[in-house]
Structure formats: structure tokens, C-alpha cells
Chain A
Amino acid sequence: MTLQGWFLILLFVGILLALTKPIGMWMFALYEGRRTPLHVVLGPVERGFYALAGIDPKEEQGWRRYALHMLLFNVALMLFTYAVLRLQAVLPLNPQGLGAVSEHLSFNTAISFTANTNWQSYGGESTMSNLSQMLGLTIHNFLSAATGIALAFALFRGFARRETKTIGNFWADVTRITLYLLLPLCVALALFYIASGVPQTLAGVVDVQTLEGARQSILLGPVASQEAIKMLGTNGGGFFNANSAHPFENPTALTNFVQMLSIFLLGIGLTWTFGRAVGNTRQGWAILAAMLILFLAGVSVTYAAEAAGNPVLHQLGVGGGNMEGKEARFGIAASALFSVVTTAASCGAVNAMHDSFTALGGMIPLFNMQLGEVVVGGVGAGIYGFLLFAILAVFVAGLMVGRTPEYVGKKIESREVKLAVLAIAVLPLVILGLTALSSVLQQGLAGPLNKGPHGFSEILYAFTSAVANNGSAFAGLTANTPYYNGLLGVAMWVGRFFIIVPMLAIAGSLAAKKYTPESAGSFPTTGALWVGLLVGIILILGGLTFLPSLALGPIADHLAMIRGQLF
């Protein structure tokens, strides 16, 4: 580890802390439905959309109606993308003349992008036409992110409102978030990426005669426009197979830094928005503190492990940290930091190959996802997932002091706790169930590239990534098969919507409750004790559930690595 590396990490956290309030305030304005300066330009677009779709943005929806509209919209978007991919061969903007995407891959990809996962069983350059990238995939990067933030708004309203049946209007939330938040930021980011060397063209392949006289084909495309929202919306689906390790997606150390910032930006801002929505911004800062403690702990482990390097290679006379799968312009620190950011935040973009990390360096990305993607988390999904843990934490605190638990002015009762447990239980059930299944079935065992415990880690990582809606991979796994595409597709859908529906039910149930003012007997949810309790609950739940699987995978891998046993 170097001083420069730690400076980078602290600079990253410092800039984000400075941005938390401004971006949180902007999102609070959208939460409230207030007018912004951008309404002058985009207001007519918003009103036009409502008029054509027959939407009354002022119509308040109960949680069931909100859920129904959200689900139907997501199903429609998914079917749309499935159609675009299946029809790729006959649609325009296909300079490479690629054929239709196969049925099982289209199924997997359509779910993947709808569920804000962006798991990719394919390599973009050999599978997707420019039109498929733009029309099939980029739209989900916006709308799955907007859906996530809208759902977070709905839950915020559950906490903030009193004795009402409604939690907002889904269409108004999604449209405003897209038009006044995501789109303007993406225009700015895309321009910055283009200026930095990310291509933005409708052309395809360029033939190159290299300096040594060999032939090389380089693929161009509308990369920058997708890159901007891929990060900002914590989607993570790369234009190219190598994702943000590819120099066209992430050409410089500066673009790399901006990509990391934009992964965390909205998720961190939403903690402030939440605090403001429930009338006490310290509630938001307390959540952010718990997130940052878990984040910095993860960064420390991965950075230390990668900087220490691979003893197996040291034996061969190679010095320094572990550079397999990493780019020279980023080096160890910026790659380790990126890997923890992208898995803490359910983004899933990678600037280095996690599969080739040292065993412990690669375990942290895996563990981050197993904690439920609540360390900042996906845009919207992170904060609503975190609030489920907060409900459990006040419940535990309530048990200890023998009082009905309360959180930000609402009594937490058996219905909310049951629903929260239901949502949280989805994660281990599906991840461990499908990993176990794939570790015994022939179709499952055909997937891993690596042998031994690392092969098991590849399977475990895939299902963890799918259910947690992350999308990064131990990419040695051959996942473009009917077996993996099918199962991973189901896992992504369940991981997204089987958590959302109980969460919305909680929002509805909370909105109906009356306000319970804080009293001398209330457990304070702003101080250090509360932050410690939150961190403890998240680690105990995640740790206890997944430790056995980690022992079989990365930990066994680590022990083999330091003994020099090869597979």
C-alpha cells in the first residue's frame, strides 16, 4: 500500500461527502414535486408525456396501485428489449451485421437490464448492434435507476406521511427523476467522456495496420452516451466485454475517478434526502456513517490484499502487487477502490477482472453483495434495502429495552418486521439454493473456468451478483448457456421484485400510522450507538448466513494460495 493510494481513497470519500447535501437537496425538490430551473426547458416534455399516456401526475396512489403501475411498466420495458434483441438482425444501425440474439440470452439480458443488474452473459462487441445498445439497453439504464429512486421516494413518504393511504404517484416520480436528474447529468458526463477519449459514433469497425504491420480491428460505437448512465444509474452493463477496464470505456485515471464518483453520487445523496423527508437530516447522516464504516473496512481489506500481491507469482520472480487483470493506467489502488465501490453500490461495472484478484481481495466484492447491497447500494435500492435493516435494528433494540420500537416517528410493529424479514430472507435463500444446485448438476459444473475452490467461487459469485442485482462477475464462468441464462434470469427477477413488493407494503403500512413523537423512552436513531447497532446487524445477518459459503470458496482459495497449492 502507498500513501498515494490512501490519498486517492480519502479524496474520493471527501469529495462525496461534499456532494451529499447538494445532490440530496436536488432530489428532495423532485421528491416534493417542486419546480426546478430545468422545468423551463423540460417541463413541456414532462407534460407532453403525461398527456399522451393519460396520466394525472397529481393523482395519489396507494401502495398496491403504485406497485401495480411500477410492475406493469417494468414488464412492458422488459418485453420491449426482448423484442429489440430478437429482431436485431433486421433492425438498422447494425454495422457489423450481427444476427439475432439467442432466445435464452435475450431472456436473460432483458431481465438483467430491467432489474438494474446488468449481468452480461455476452461480450458486447460480438453480440450487440449499436441499435441494441442504445434502444434495447441504454433505456433500462435510465428507467431501472429512475424506478429505484421512485421506490425509495415511496418508502420515504411512508415514513414521512401521517394517517394516509397514499405514497405518491409512480409516473410522476419516474418521469421527474429521469428528466430533471438523470438526463441532464448524463449529458454533462457524456460530453466529459467524449472529450477524454470515449468514442461516440454510429460507425462500427475500423481497420488498423499496426506499427509492426499486423492487422487489428477496433470497434467503435455510441459508447459515451451509454457510459454516462451506466455509472450514474448503478447499472454497470458495459458496451464492451471488458467493461470499464476497456480503454474506450474508461481511458484515463480521471475518467476512472469520475466513474467511481458517479456510481456513489445518487445513492449517497438519497441518505440526505431521506433525512430531510422525515424532518431530521441527522437521521440521514447516521445512515451514511454506517454505510461509510462498512465501505472503508471493505476498501482496506481489498487494497491490502491486492497490494500485498500473489505469493504464487512472487515465487516465480515477479515483484509487487497483483496486476493480473488490472490496467497499467489505474494500478493497484484505483482498481481495488473501484471494485469495492462497484460492489458496495450494486453497480457491477468493473475496471479490473475480479476473477483474477487475490482470494481475499476478491472476497470483499462478493461479501459486499451478500450484505444485501446496502453499503450505499444501487440508486434507490440501496437506501430502501438499508431501511429494511434499520427496521430490524430498531426491533432488536426494542427487544433489548422492552419497548415498542419506533423509527423516525413511526411505531414499528409486527407487520413491518415480518415484511422486512420476508424481503431480507430472499437473498440467502435464492443465492445459496441456486449455488448449491449448480454445484451438483452437470450443467452447473460445466460453467467455471478455474478449478478447485476458485471454481466454486465463480458459481457463488454469479448467483450472488444476480440476486443482489449487482451484475459484476467472476467472469471466467461460461454463463451463456440455457442453464445459466435461465436460472440467473429468474434469480435477478426475484432479487429485484420480491424485495420491492414487501418493501412497498411496508411503505403503505407506515403511511397509515399516526406520528409518534420522540419521548424520553425512545431509542435515539442518530448517535454513535445507533450507527454501531446498524453496522452490527448488517454484519451479523450477512456474516452468519454466508460465512460457510465463503469458507468453501475464497477462504479455501486463500489457504491454497499461501501454501502454493495450484489447481
Chain B
Amino acid sequence: MGKDFSSALRPAIVMTVLFAALLGIAYPLAMTGIGQAIFPSQANGSLVRDTRGIVIGSTVVGQAFTTERYFQTRPSAAGKGYDGLSSSGSNLGPASQALVDRVKADVARRQGEGVSGPLPGDLVTASGSGLDPDLSPASALAQAPRIARVRGVSVDRVRNLVVKLSEGSVLGEEHVNVLALNQALDALPRTAAADTPLR
């Protein structure tokens, strides 16, 4: 067994070094090179810049929206909310007092805004990542009256944006990207003429 052992040492050590070089260095670097060449935008995080060139977010990763004039994002357990360095869900169990307290407060807030009937589930629950970029169309539509009121535009215009920007496939659920939605909101003309419903 002693001879067997020493004869197995060399391949064990040499193969560790060789595979480390191939799989730990060459493979990821090659993929980085190819990715940067063919898909530079996606490989660098699908960043969105404003007209001045300042990075205002990523189309892939969610950011916090808390003010009344924007579509608000889901509750987040990533750090203090949408912390890109600390992704996390709440990990609260189904019969957790802390979960109930948190949801109760959010439900009360939404009802205070005039949302009636059962609330869409995703509007008052924390996502798995804490960086969910999307809302369900129902959660976005529930916020349309508030946004229309604050912005002084018609509810139908806001609703139309949600319908237009919603996407989905059989592989997942229908959803709408909140950053795209809010950028579209900011682009809405605020003249009285624009407030005429589109019907």
C-alpha cells in the first residue's frame, strides 16, 4: 500500500495543478474574452445610462423605487433594500410573526392608497434575491391610480404603459420591468392634450 500511495501522489498533485490552470484560469478567461467581444453590453451587466452617460441602473437587476410618483418595487430583504452587494430573501417561514407584521404594514399602506380586493401576492412579499427587477402586471396596475393622481395624467395612460411593457412566456410568469416602466413614465408628455384617453 505504501508504494501504491506514493505512486498515486504524483498524478494527484500534477493533475490538480493542470486542471486548475485549465478550468480555473483558461476557461473563465476565455469566456470573458469571447463574452466581452460578442456581447459587451450583457457581459458588463446590461447597464443603462442616461443622456449624460451616468449609469442609472441595469435592465437585469432591480433597484429601489419608494416614492409615490413611480411604480414601487417589491419589498426587499437585500441589505436595507435592493443592496447589490447583499442579495437575499427574507427566509421567513410561513407561520412567522415577523412575516405577518411586515405584510400587514404593507397591506395597510396599499389599502390606504385605495387598492381594493385581494392584493396581488408579489406586491407585498419579498423576492428571493431582494433584487427583483419586475412586478406582476397586476401589481403594477394596482399602483396606476396613485401614479396618475400624483403625476396629473390619466389612469388609462399609465395602465397602457403597463400593458405595453408586460412580457412573458409559457416558461415563466408574465411580468413587467419596473425600471423600464418608470423611464417610460418620465417620458410621458404632461400636457393636458396628452391626458385624453387613448380609446
Binding site for B on A (CB under 8 A): 4, 7-8, 11, 45, 49, 52-55, 64-65, 68-69, 72-73, 75-77, 80, 123, 125-126, 134-136, 138-139, 142-143, 171, 174-175, 178, 183, 186-187, 190-191, 194-203, 205-212, 214, 216-220, 222, 224-226, 240-242, 245-248, 251-254, 256-257, 309-310, 312-314, 316-335, 350-353, 355-359, 449-452, 454, 457, 474-476, 557, 560-561, 565-567
Q: Which residue of A lies closest to B34 (CB)?
A: A191
Q: How many A-B residue pairs have CB under 8 A?
A: 385
**B160 shortest CB reach to chain A, Å:** 20
Does B89 touch A at the CB level, under 8 Å? yes
**A354 shortest CB reach to chain B, Å:** 9
> Cα distance A42–B78 when bound, in Å?
43
Q: Collect the chain A residues with CB atoms within 8 Å of residue B156's CB.
A: none
Which listed residue, B24, B58, B136, B169, touches A253 by the CB 8 Å rule? Answer: B169
Q: Is the Cβ of A334 less than 8 Å from the Cβ of B107?
A: no
Q: Collect the chain A residues with CB atoms within 8 Å of residue B57's CB.
A: 208, 210-211, 216
Q: Is the Cβ of B170 less than 8 Å from the Cβ of A8?
A: yes
Q: Is the Cβ of A242 less than 8 Å from the Cβ of B15?
A: no
Does B99 touch A at the CB level, under 8 Å? yes
Q: Is the Cβ of B10 less than 8 Å from the Cβ of A208?
A: no
Q: Is the Cβ of B91 less than 8 Å from the Cβ of A212?
A: no
Q: Collect the chain B residues with CB atoms within 8 Å of residue A247's CB.
A: 60-62, 129, 131-133
Residue of A175, A196, A248, A314 ringed by the most chain B CB atoms within 10 A? A248
Q: Which residue of B lies closest to A195 (CB)?
A: B39
Q: Is the Cβ of B172 less than 8 Å from the Cβ of A329?
A: yes
**A492 shortest CB reach to chain B, Å:** 19
> Cα distance A566–B59 when bound, in Å?
38
Q: Is the Cβ of B64 less than 8 Å from the Cβ of A212?
A: yes
Which listed residue, B4, B19, B129, B136, touches A246 by the CB 8 Å rule? Answer: B129
Q: Which residue of A lies closest to B115 (CB)?
A: A317
> Cα distance A200–B84 when bound, in Å?
16
> Cα distance A561–B93 when bound, in Å?
10
Q: Which residue of B lies closest to A449 (CB)?
A: B91
> Cα distance A428–B127 when bound, in Å?
33
> Cα distance A211–B62 when bound, in Å?
11
Report B123-176 residues with CB < 8 Å from chain A CB: 124-136, 139, 168-173, 175
Q: Is the Cβ of B56 less than 8 Å from the Cβ of A211?
A: yes
> Cα distance A307–B111 when bound, in Å?
24
Does B191 touch A at the CB level, under 8 Å? no
Instruction: Indicate whether A318 sits within 8 Å of B118 (C-beta atoms), given known contacts A199-B44, A210-B57.
Output: yes
Q: Collect the chain B residues with CB atoms within 8 Å of residue A211's CB.
A: 56-57, 63, 65, 70, 179, 182-183, 186
Count residues of chain B with CB under 8 A from any CB of chain A: 104
Instruction: Indicate whether A561 sits within 8 Å of B70 (C-beta atoms), given known contacts A139-B19, A241-B86.
Output: no
Q: Is the Cβ of A356 less than 8 Å from the Cβ of B89?
A: yes
- Considering the complex of A and B, which 9 residue pairs feature the smallest CB-CB distances, nearest first? A253-B172, A331-B173, A319-B118, A245-B128, A454-B93, A353-B89, A476-B91, A135-B24, A242-B87
Further 6 A-B residue pairs, CB within 8 A, beyond A209-B55, A325-B91, A328-B135: A205-B84, A216-B63, A247-B133, A253-B171, A328-B74, A329-B175
Which listed residue, B19, B58, B82, touches A143 by the CB 8 Å rule? Answer: B19
Q: Is the Cβ of A143 less than 8 Å from the Cβ of B127?
A: no
Does B11 touch A at the CB level, under 8 Å? yes
Q: Is the Cβ of B107 less than 8 Å from the Cβ of A54?
A: no
Q: Is the Cβ of A125 less than 8 Å from the Cβ of B118?
A: no
Instruction: Indicate whether A216 sits within 8 Å of B32 (C-beta atoms), given known contacts A142-B23, A557-B94.
Output: no
Q: Is the Cβ of A126 less than 8 Å from the Cβ of B85?
A: yes
Residue of A209, A247, A248 ringed by the most chain B CB atoms within 10 A? A247
Q: Collect the chain B residues with CB atoms within 8 Å of residue A241's CB.
A: 86-88
Q: Collect the chain A residues with CB atoms within 8 Å of residue B36's CB.
A: 200-201
> Cα distance A314–B84 when bound, in Å?
31
Q: Collect the chain B residues with CB atoms within 8 Å of residue A254's CB.
A: 169, 171
Q: Is the Cβ of A49 less than 8 Å from the Cβ of B18?
A: yes
Q: Which residue of B lies closest to A361 (CB)?
A: B94
Q: Is the Cβ of B179 less than 8 Å from the Cβ of A326?
A: no
Q: Collect the chain A residues with CB atoms within 8 Å of residue B39's CB.
A: 194-195
Q: Is the Cβ of A310 less than 8 Å from the Cβ of B119?
A: no
